[in-house]
């Protein structure tokens, strides 16, 4: 009885052990099948197709608006301000009188020059009279001398030689008087020219008593008040009367780095965004210095911006985007597909068999979203976009079109979002 019981327990234990072994083997077989099935399914890889499209290099830099013209207006002559007609913020027009000076000594100088002109004119009249009198005397004396000479020829001995000599001498002396009178007349005319020049000089200085605007603009600062003594602008230490800025046109000045200086040219399009006003418009490069600032290694570039409604003010900043190296039919791929190691670039290419290949490429023009491929790829090649470390060369993948399209930069922005 006891022996039969032991055999039953041994048999039951053996059955339990067999069941456990069977369960372990079945579990391992099932796991191996799962792993095999998982290993046989290719991973999905986001790809983009190399396509021909327009591409351009861009530079985005902050620029500052400055007046088209900005000058400090000085007095040409020293004097007291009799009246000042403008203040800061006033808009003025070309030729408008900004201030009037009182210059008593200049008035006296103008009067003196005017008197000198009248005196010179009277001297000319007197010289003309002297010339006329001398010429009349010369005619009479010359006629008398000729008559005596002719008489002496027809009737020799009738007229004394002394009388002939006196007549001839008087004729020559009268001719000299005529020449002297004409010289005096010429000198009087020269004196009149000098007097008129002095008069014009002091009259011009008198005109400078009115300080006028050289162009349409706005008064940005006022330095003097009524009754103040201002020095001539040519003297050292003389303060200006006002500062005048032309703001109906503004210069947008931007620093362009040395690397793209050669790509900048007149008439080049530039996208301008003014954060202070929210305005966005397209301008064109108007001028540039064509030389680099040695301190900053940049070239100053200017864009003329019309400002007829004065919405923009000098000192405002704007973000300027210059489009350089524009290509209309470049072979391009997304920037996210390019992997750089030092000065070398490569991509992960998915071939016709959906196998990953590491391919070296040479890049060209690059914008924020796409890069030109000059060699290493053909049109229609598929490249993996992003996460290069997740894939190995030789691996088989399932290519899936990436949301980053190579059609345009705007599509890239949408895909990135």
pLDDT of residue 100: 94
Give the Cα separation of 255 and 265 in Å (integer): 14
Same domain, residue pair 273 and 291: yes
Q: Please report whether residue 40 resides in a domain.
A: no
DSSP readout, 121-176?
HHHHHHHHHHHHHHHHHHHHHHHHHHHHHHHHHHSTTSS-HHHHHHHHHHHHHHHH
Give the Cα separation of 145 and 168 in Å (integer): 5
Residue pair 137/145 in contact (Cβ under 8 Å)? The answer is no
Is the pLDDT reported for residue 29 higher than 80? no
Same domain, residue pair 120 and 136: yes
Angle value at C-alpha 371, between 286 and 298, nearest 5 degrees:
35
Q: The tokens 């003309």 sit on which residue?
A: 128
Give the Cα separation of 398 and 42 in Å (integer): 6
Same domain, residue pair 123 and 79: no
Q: Please report whether residue 22 resides in a domain.
A: no
pLDDT of residue 409: 46
Please state, as a whole number, how many other Cβ atoms lie within 10 Å of the Cβ of residue 70: 15
Q: Please report whether residue 18 resides in a domain.
A: no
pLDDT tens, position by position, 269-318: 899 999 899 999 999 999 999 999 999 999 999 999 999 999 999 999 99
Structure tokens at 64: 């500052």
pLDDT of residue 35: 43
Same domain, residue pair 322 and 333: no
Q: Higher-confidence residue: 368 or 301?
A: 301
Q: Higher-confidence residue: 329 or 415?
A: 329
Strand partners, 60: 321
What domain range is 187 assigned to? 104-207
Same domain, residue pair 112 and 203: yes
Residue pair 297/281 in contact (Cβ under 8 Å)? The answer is no
Q: Read off the pLDDT of each residue in 112-123 and give the average, rounded to a whole number.
A: 87
Neighbouring residues of 185: CB distance < 8 A, sequence distance ≥ 6: 124, 127, 128, 130, 131
Report residue 212's pLDDT band, with 50, 70 and 90 as the boundaries. very high
Q: Read off the pLDDT of each residue in 76-94 and give the average, rounded to a whole number.
A: 93
Q: Please report whether residue 310 resides in a domain.
A: yes
Q: Please report whether residue 343 resides in a domain.
A: yes
Same domain, residue pair 97 and 111: no
Same domain, residue pair 233 and 301: no
Query: How many domains does one find in the chain?
Result: 4
Same domain, residue pair 370 and 412: yes
Q: What are phi and psi of 153, to 5 degrees?
A: -75, -40
Tell me, what CATH number does 267's domain have?
2.40.30.170
Structure tokens at 171: 């004729």
Same domain, residue pair 96 and 213: yes
Compute CA distances 351 → 152, 194, 359, 370, 371, whole Å.
Answer: 136, 96, 11, 21, 21
292, 309, 326: which is the final residue of a domain?
326
Q: Please report whether residue 16 resides in a domain.
A: no
Name the residue among 348, 336, 385 with its Cα closest to residue 46.
385
Report residue 33's pLDDT band, with 50, 70 and 90 as the boundaries. very low
Least confident of 12-26, 155-169, 221-235: 12-26
Same domain, residue pair 81 and 225: yes
240, 260, 286: which is the final residue of a domain?
240
Is the pLDDT reported for residue 414 higher than 90? no
pTM: 0.59
Q: What are phi and psi of 198, to 5 degrees?
A: -65, -40
Q: Higher-confidence residue: 408 or 375?
A: 375
Give the Cα separation of 299 and 320 in Å (integer): 15
pLDDT of residue 189: 87
Give the Cα separation of 414 and 368 in Å (integer): 13
Same domain, residue pair 313 and 334: no
Q: Strands 370-375, 317-334: parallel, antiparallel or unpaired by DSSP?
A: antiparallel
pLDDT of residue 188: 85
Neighbouring residues of 266: CB distance < 8 A, sequence distance ≥ 6: 284, 285, 286, 287, 288
Same domain, residue pair 202 and 345: no
Q: Please report whether residue 112 resides in a domain.
A: yes
Tell me, what CATH number does 236's domain have?
2.40.50.100
Please provide the average confidence, as pLDDT, over all residues in the chain.
83
Report residue 26's pLDDT band, with 50, 70 and 90 as the boundaries. very low
326, 349, 382: which is the final residue of a domain?
326
Q: Please report whether residue 93 resides in a domain.
A: yes
């Amino acid at each position: 009885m006891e022996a039969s019981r032991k055999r039953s327990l041994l048999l039951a234990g053996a059955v339990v052990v067999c069941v456990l072994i069977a369960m372990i083997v079945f579990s391992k077989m099932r796991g191996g099948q799962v792993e095999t099935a998982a290993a046989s399914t290719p991973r999905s890889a986001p790809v983009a197709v190399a396509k021909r499209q327009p591409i351009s290099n861009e530079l985005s830099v902050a620029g500052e608006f400055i007046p088209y013209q900005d000058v400090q207006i000085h007095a040409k002559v020293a004097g007291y301000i009799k009246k000042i007609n403008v203040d800061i913020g006033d808009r003025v027009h070309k030729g408008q009188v900004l201030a009037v000076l009182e210059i008593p000594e200049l008035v006296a100088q103008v009067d003196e020059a005017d008197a000198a002109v009248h005196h010179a004119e009277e001297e000319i009249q007197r010289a003309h009279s002297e010339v006329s009198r001398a010429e009349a005397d010369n005619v009479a004396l010359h006629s008398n001398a000729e008559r005596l000479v002719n008489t002496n020829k027809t009737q020799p001995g009738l007229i004394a030689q002394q009388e002939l000599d006196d007549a001839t001498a008087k004729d020559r002396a009268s001719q000299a008087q005529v020449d002297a009178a004409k010289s005096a007349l010429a000198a009087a005319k020269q004196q009149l020219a000098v007097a008129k020049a002095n008069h014009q000089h002091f009259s011009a200085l008198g005109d400078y008593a009115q300080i006028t605007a050289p162009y349409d603009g706005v008064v940005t600062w006022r330095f003097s008040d009524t009754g103040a003594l201002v020095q001539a602008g040519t003297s050292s230490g003389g303060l200006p009367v006002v500062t005048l800025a032309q703001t109906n046109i503004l210069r947008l000045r931007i620093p362009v780095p040395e690397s793209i200086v050669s790509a900048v040219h007149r008439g080049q399009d530039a996208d301008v965004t003014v954060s202070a006003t929210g305005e966005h418009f397209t301008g064109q490069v108007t001028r540039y210095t064509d030389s680099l600032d040695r301190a900053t290694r940049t070239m100053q570039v200017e864009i003329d911006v019309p400002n007829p409604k004065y919405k923009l003010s000098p000192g405002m900043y704007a973000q300027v985007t210059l489009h350089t190296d524009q290509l209309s039919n470049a072979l391009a791929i997304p920037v996210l597909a390019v992997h750089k190691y030092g000065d070398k670039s490569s991509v992960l290419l998915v071939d016709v068999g959906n196998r990953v290949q590491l391919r070296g490429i040479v890049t060209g023009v690059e914008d924020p979203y796409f890069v030109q491929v000059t060699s290493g790829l053909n049109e229609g090649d598929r490249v993996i976009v992003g996460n290069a470390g997740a894939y190995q060369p030789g691996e088989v993948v399932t290519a899936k079109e990436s949301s980053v399209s190579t059609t345009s930069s705007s599509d890239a922005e949408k895909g990135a979002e």
